[in-house]
Structure 1
Amino acid sequence: MRTEHFTFTTDGDQLVGTLYLPQGTPLGAVVTTGPLTSVKEQAAGAYARAMAERGFAALAFDHRTFGESDGLPRQFENPLGKARDIQHAVTALLADERTTDLPITAVGVCAGAGYMARAVADDPRIRAFVGVAGYYADTAAAPPSQEAIARGRAAEQVWRETGVAEQIPAVAPDGGDVGMPLREAYEYYGTPRGAVPNYTNGFAVQSFAYTSDFDTIEAAARLAAPYAMIHSENALAPAFARKFYATVSSPKSELWLESVGQIDFYDDPRLIDAAADAAAALFRSVSAG
């Protein structure tokens, strides 16, 4: 397995990724996306590496406004924008001599599973999809906070008028006014465990106008590609995961693992290996077909 630099553009912004390549001819090409505010050296990269170890070319990349990629305002979390990034990544993989003509499949982790669901529902070029510890936002079961949406819209108005984007921390040891209030999130992003040099502990406040009312169930209803759900009773919102899974009508399978919580899916080799094995089995079946 080796890694190579990979770049592509979305709406004029250059996005920077790492392409993980297996020994020999790849069985297919996998595009990965990770959790809220994350970068390619974190969960997305861990799963891309695992897929390359199983014979696939796999791309982990920094979404617009994050890490090494272009885009303003920085640290802006936009689910539909990230779904568009994924579609542009697919276009780039199909055009690149290292991956052209390979079947394209996808892995999304945490919030990235919801973003990936939207991308897959909208893009028939993605032949199969695996969601790992997915956070499947369900606005019917958990209506969005109108206060958060209003705060996000106000921050965006200020940014458009002044070019100044308000940021809050993505995580903090005691929670508070942050993008991710879970203590578990701080223990990953706020410590050497997950705080890689390319990561910025920041969250653009205007993101609330986009993340708060993002819904994944509508995408579940439109999925045509085979889907595998990998989750845990201790991961985020297992009830939402079950509803998402029940809504999918395409060929599907589920694997429930034992985890401490949500975050160990990002870096626990036992969980990553089990999830990657399941993904590889699904993706091989697609490649063979």
Structure 2
Amino acid sequence: MNMKIDTKALVNRKVGLDRRNLLKMTGTGMAALSVGIAASGQAVAQSQVNLSDTWDKTFAKSDKVGHRKVTFKNRYGIILAADLYQPKNASGRLAAIAVSGPFGAVKEQASGLYAQTMAERGFVTLAFDPSYTGESSGETRNMASPDVNTEDFSAAVDFLGLQPNVDRDRIGAIGICGFSGMALTAATSDSRIKAVATASMYDMSRSMSRSHKDGYTMEQRQKVIDYISQQRWVDAESGKYALGYHEVPIDEKGNIVKGQRVLPETLPANPDPVLVAFFNYYKTPRGFHPKGINSTTAWTATTPMSFFSFPMYANIEMISPRPVLLVAGENAHSRYYSEDVYKVASDPKELVIVPNTDHVDLYDQMDKIPFDRLTSFFKQHLA
């Protein structure tokens, strides 16, 4: 039986019902609707990504590689913006590497430097902005998701594998700082990632839920959860997403420190050396970029919620027999993350500790980043 459906009439009927229902709503119902409308409008506004060909990186452009800006979608329909680097005068199908990080940074910073340098060494590379960050789409802005951002790596593999000069059986990944955990997690469920390297690894789930070196007590962990949970009421009622530091600070009296930016505009007196290292990269011409969260603002205050319940690389044994290379600075405050992953990872694996190097040195210090070791690792395992 063939039926002709009057879709226009159906739409008009639905609009009429929606308007009548709207007139019935009062109080918190109207507030909730206004939040939904605002969120929907923002999402539509972010559905298109406009990219410029202007060189806007924190590092010099190489004359040894070709570069172009590209976009692609992840499995959730979010449009990711990226820089594709390709070695000049190369022929045949090449090995490729997806690169992202640090947490709160953009592709114009460390990940782009890694990508361009590895392209100089013969790989097709893709430095991408994670969902909700930089030039990539996704609402709410300045938000991170352990699930979605892990998927971003697999989406980058999708894109690379469709390039005519890429051998889709020879694709690897590099995660820097907080995106090391996402790269490792992606590899546990995506066997197309044939080799994974990390630099200055940070486990963001562990960091947010347990603090540095697992310093939170159980009481403090519960206090953070309570703060994030109550903040959701505030955000829902206001229709806005408050900002705050991704690792919720607790002061000496045991109170939550709210609304803190990732980095201050100026250094305090007698600052912690770790703060100084981050500040000297993100807040100075060395590494500042106006699109980077670490350079300019903060994450949404409720960002840690999903990280509490989503442990990174929980199935790390599933990466084997694909290899893992972990690179950390000898003096890095984050060194223990790489060492702990090395303990639980299956062979083949390698831990490289770079002498006289801190966490941030591995973002951009060309004399300290072991690019020769990274090159030999990927040439061996993406052969």
In the alignment, what sits opposite 1:178?
Answer: none
In the alignment, what sits opposite 1:88?
Answer: 155
Distance 1:146-1:277 versus aligned 2 partners, 3 A rule: farther
The DSSP-based 3-state class of the residue aligned with 1:271 is: coil
Structure 2 contact 198–327 (Cα < 8 Å) conserved: yes
Alignment partner of 1:281 is 2:359? no
Structure 2 contact 200–334 (Cα < 8 Å) conserved: no
TM-score by length of 2: 0.67
Q: What aligned pairs does 1:171-186 form with structure 2 within 5 A after superposition? A: 171-172=263-264, 173-174=266-267, 182-186=275-279
Q: What aligned pairs does 1:7-156 form with structure 2 within 5 A after superposition? A: 7-10=71-74, 11-23=76-88, 24-25=90-91, 27-99=94-166, 101=168, 103-136=170-203, 138=206, 142=214, 145-156=221-232
| Residues 234-243 or 276-285, more deviating | 234-243
Q: CA RMSD in A?
A: 2.4
Alignment partner of 1:215 is 2:282? no
Calculate percent identity across the aligned residue pairs: 28
TM-score by length of 1: 0.88
| Higher Rg of the two aligned structures | 2
Match of 1:193 among 268, 274, 286: 286
The whole-number CA distance in structure 1 between the counterparts of 2:215 and 2:155 is: 30
The whole-number CA distance in structure 1 between the counterparts of 2:222 and 2:183 is: 25
In the alignment, what sits opposite 2:301?
Answer: 205
Q: Deviations over 1:74-111 (max 9, x none)?
A: 11122222101111111121123343535110111111
In the alignment, what sits opposite 2:346?
Answer: 249
Between the two proteins, the alignment pairs up a number of residues equal to 281
Q: Which amino acid aligns with 2:354?
A: L
Instruction: Structure 1: give runs of 5+ residues left out of the alignment.
Output: 176-180
Aligned-residue offset at 1:156: 4.1
Structure 1 contact 154–206 (Cα < 8 Å) conserved: no
The whole-number CA distance in structure 2 between the counterparts of 1:217 and 1:86 is: 14
The whole-number CA distance in structure 2 between the counterparts of 1:150 and 1:186 is: 30
In the alignment, what sits opposite 1:170?
Answer: 262
| Residues 257-266 or 148-157, more deviating | 148-157
Q: Which amino acid aligns with 2:224?
A: A
Larger RCO, structures 1/2 (Cα 8 Å, 6+ apart): 1
Aligned-residue offset at 1:220: 3.0
Q: Deviations over 1:147-189 (max 9, x none)?
A: 33333333345445654111132211458xxxxx833222222
Distance 1:72-1:153 versus aligned 2 partners, 3 A rule: farther
The DSSP-based 3-state class of the residue aligned with 2:303 is: helix
The whole-number CA distance in structure 1 between the counterparts of 2:356 and 2:148 is: 30
Q: Which amino acid aligns with 1:53?
A: E
Aligned-residue offset at 1:143: 7.0
Structure 1 contact 259–265 (Cα < 8 Å) conserved: no
Structure 1 contact 230–255 (Cα < 8 Å) conserved: yes
Q: Deviations over 1:184-230 (max 9, x none)?
A: 22222222221113324221111121345653462433322201111
The whole-number CA distance in structure 2 between the counterparts of 1:81 and 1:160 is: 22
Q: Which amino acid aligns with 2:151?
A: R
Q: Deviations over 1:234-279 (max 9, x none)?
A: 113323321210111131122211244211110101123x1x2212
The whole-number CA distance in structure 2 between the counterparts of 1:33 and 1:106 is: 9
